[in-house]
Structure 1
């Protein structure tokens, strides 16, 4: 069984931002896919597919490490 989680992220402006956030989230345990609907300068949507539900604080830390913030 997989879990799909969606997060709203602020601060991303370009494809480099998408790659940075994707790279940080992908290393979380159990993550199998990350997609980003980029809204440059606005609130982007990040969808994560994982084996189990992710701890929101882990996702927030990964987003923060990439230089962005959960909305």
Structure 2
């Protein structure tokens, strides 16, 4: 391969991972209060969505070698 597969998916996986951590912190009232970030009710689905993007990206890299 030309190596562009990792360049295409790794930034997406890293950003999705960071957004997933932030979404989890926003969906948990204790963490949101401790970190002084706004609490967003019913936003746990964003954490699952970001985790699925990260998992899909890592699976793509695993089976693309």
Higher RCO (CA-CA < 8 Å; seq separation 6+): 1
Mark the structure with the bigger radius of gyration.
Answer: 2
Q: Which structure features the higher share of strand residues?
A: 1
Question: TM-score if structure 2 supplies the norm length?
Answer: 0.29
